[in-house]
Structure 1
Amino acid sequence: MEKIWLNSYSPSVPHEIDADCVASLVDVLEQSVVDYGENIAFTNMGKSITFNQLDELSRSVAAYLQNSGLKQGDAVAVMMPNLLQNPVSIFGILRAGMTVVNVNPLYTARELKHQLVDSDAKAIIIVENFAHTLAEIIDETGIKQVVTTQLGDMLGAPKSLVVNLVVKYIKKLVPAFSLPHRTRFNDMLSLGRAHSYQRPQLKGDDIAFLQYTGGTTGVSKGAMLTHRNLIANLEQVSAILGPFLERGKEIIVTALPLYHIFALTANCLTFVKFGCQNLLITNPRDMTGFVKELGKYPFTAITGVNTLFNGLLNTPGFSDLDFSNYKFALGGGMAVQRSVAEKWEKVTGHVLLEGYGLTECSPLVTVNPPSVNKYNASIGLPAPSTDIKLVDEQGHEVPLGQTGEMHVKGPQVMLGYLNRPEATAEILNDGWLATGDIAKCDEQGFFYIVDRKKDMILVSGFNVFPNEIEDVVAMMDGVLEVAAIGMPNESSGEVVKLYVVRKDPSLSEKQIISHCREYLTGYKVPKVIEFRDELPKSNVGKILRRELRDK
Structure 2
Amino acid sequence: MSGASAASVAAAAEADRLWAERFWAKHYRPGVPARIDDELARWTSVQQMFEADSRRFSERPGYVSLGTALTYGRVLNEAKAFGAWLQSVGIRPGDRVALMMPNCLQYPTALFGVLFAGAVVVNVNPLYTARELQHQLKDSGAVAIVVMDMFARTLEQAREGTEVRHVIVTAMGDMMPGLKGVAVSAMMRHVQKLVPAYRLAGAHRWTAMMRRARRLTLRPAATRPEDIAFLQYTGGTSGVAKGAMLTHRNILANTLQGRAWVLDQIDHDEVVGNVTMLPLYHIFSLTANLMMFTGAGGRNILIANPRDAKRVEWILRKERFVGMTGLNTLFASLLKTEAFRNRDFSDLKLTIAGGMATQKAVAEEWEAVTGAPLVDGYGLTETSPVVCIGRVDLDHPETMGFDGTVGLPVPSTEVRMRRDNGTWAGIDEPGELCVRGPQVMLGYWKRPDETAKTISPEGWLATGDVGVMQANGRVRLVDRIKDMILVSGFNVYPGEIEAVVASHPLVEQVAAVGVPDPVQGERVKIVVVSRSATLTSELLIAHCREHLTAYKVPRLVEFRDDPLPKTAVGKVLRRDLR
Question: Cα offset for 1:244?
Answer: 2.4
Aligned residue identity for 1:270? M
Task: Name structure 2 gaps, 5 residues minimum.
Answer: 1-15, 394-398
Q: Is the 8 A contact 1:295 1:322 kept in 2?
A: no
* C-alpha distance in structure 1 between counterparts of 2:356 and 2:493, whole Å: 14
Deviations along 1:271-297, one digit per CA (max 9) or x if unpaired, are 122211100001112111111222211
Within the candidate set 472, 476, 482, 2:510 is matched to 482
Deviations along 1:340-369, one digit per CA (max 9) or x if unpaired, are 011111111121100000100000000002
Pairing 1:68-467 to 2, within 5 Å after superposition: 68-247=89-268, 249-371=271-393, 372-430=399-457, 431-467=459-495
* C-alpha distance in structure 1 between counterparts of 2:65 and 2:204, whole Å: 23
* C-alpha distance in structure 1 between counterparts of 2:293 and 2:346, whole Å: 20
* C-alpha distance in structure 1 between counterparts of 2:511 and 2:74, whole Å: 45
Question: Cα offset for 1:164?
Answer: 1.6
* C-alpha distance in structure 1 between counterparts of 2:419 and 2:204, whole Å: 54
Task: Name structure 1 gaps, 5 residues minimum.
Answer: none
* C-alpha distance in structure 1 between counterparts of 2:477 and 2:309, whole Å: 29
State the partner residue of 1:545. 574
Greater relative contact order, per chain length (Cα 8 Å cut-off, separation 6+): 1
Q: Does 1:527 align with 2:575?
A: no
Deviations along 1:299-330, one digit per CA (max 9) or x if unpaired, are 11111110001111111112211111111111
Aligned residue identity for 1:28? M
TM-score by length of structure 2 reads: 0.93
Question: Cα offset for 1:5?
Answer: 4.4
Aligned residue identity for 2:150? N
* C-alpha distance in structure 2 between counterparts of 1:454 and 1:476, whole Å: 26
Q: Is the 8 A contact 2:96 2:140 kept in 1?
A: yes
Q: Is the 8 A contact 2:91 2:117 kept in 1?
A: no
Aligned residue identity for 1:388? V
Which moves more between the two structures, 149-158 or 38-47? Answer: 149-158
* C-alpha distance in structure 2 between counterparts of 1:516 and 1:522, whole Å: 9
Q: Secondary structure at the match of 1:454?
A: helix
Question: Cα offset for 1:27?
Answer: 1.2
Aligned residue identity for 2:62? A
* C-alpha distance in structure 1 between counterparts of 2:62 and 2:96, whole Å: 25
TM-score by length of structure 1 reads: 0.98
Deviations along 1:485-537, one digit per CA (max 9) or x if unpaired, are 11111121111100111122322212111111111121111111111221111
Q: Secondary structure at the match of 1:159?
A: helix
* C-alpha distance in structure 2 between counterparts of 1:100 and 1:196, whole Å: 21
Question: Cα offset for 1:243?
Answer: 2.7
* C-alpha distance in structure 2 between counterparts of 1:389 and 1:163, whole Å: 50
Q: Secondary structure at the match of 2:376?
A: strand
Which moves more between the two structures, 439-448 or 247-256? Answer: 247-256
Question: Cα offset for 1:151?
Answer: 1.4
* C-alpha distance in structure 1 between counterparts of 2:149 and 2:402, whole Å: 42
Instruction: Tell me which stretches of 4 or more aligned residues in structure 1 moved more than 4 Å.
Output: none
Q: Secondary structure at the match of 1:458?
A: strand
Deviations along 1:154-185, one digit per CA (max 9) or x if unpaired, are 12221111122222122221111111111101
Q: Is the 8 A contact 1:5 1:382 kept in 2?
A: no
Deviations along 1:383-418, one digit per CA (max 9) or x if unpaired, are 110011111111101111110101110000000011
Q: Secondary structure at the match of 2:368?
A: helix
Q: Does 1:503 align with 2:525?
A: no
* C-alpha distance in structure 2 between counterparts of 1:446 and 1:406, whole Å: 13
Q: Is the 8 A contact 2:390 2:400 kept in 1?
A: no
Q: Is the 8 A contact 2:391 2:400 kept in 1?
A: no
Aligned residue identity for 1:11? P
Aligned residue identity for 1:542? K
Q: Is the 8 A contact 1:45 1:155 kept in 2?
A: no
Q: Is the 8 A contact 1:499 1:530 kept in 2?
A: yes
* C-alpha distance in structure 1 between counterparts of 2:319 and 2:235, whole Å: 32
Number of aligned residue pairs: 549
* C-alpha distance in structure 2 between counterparts of 1:215 and 1:223, whole Å: 12
Q: Secondary structure at the match of 1:38?
A: coil
- Quick one: structure 1 residues 276 and 382, their matched pair in 2 at CA, closer, same or farther if it must change by over 3 Å? same
Question: Cα offset for 1:195?
Answer: 1.3
Deviations along 1:189-217, one digit per CA (max 9) or x if unpaired, are 11111111112121101111110004122
Which moves more between the two structures, 4-13 or 94-103? Answer: 4-13
Question: Cα offset for 1:60?
Answer: 1.2
Q: Is the 8 A contact 1:132 1:177 kept in 2?
A: yes
Q: Is the 8 A contact 2:277 2:304 kept in 1?
A: yes
- Quick one: structure 1 residues 347 and 5, their matched pair in 2 at CA, closer, same or farther if it must change by over 3 Å? farther
Q: Secondary structure at the match of 2:214?
A: helix
Q: Secondary structure at the match of 1:196?
A: coil
Q: Does 1:66 align with 2:100?
A: no
Within the candidate set 498, 501, 509, 1:470 is matched to 498
Q: Is the 8 A contact 1:379 1:446 kept in 2?
A: yes
* C-alpha distance in structure 2 between counterparts of 1:169 and 1:479, whole Å: 39
* C-alpha distance in structure 2 between counterparts of 1:271 and 1:66, whole Å: 29
Q: Is the 8 A contact 1:5 1:381 kept in 2?
A: no
**What is the alpha-carbon root mean square deviation over aligned residues?**
1.2
Q: Is the 8 A contact 2:259 2:295 kept in 1?
A: no
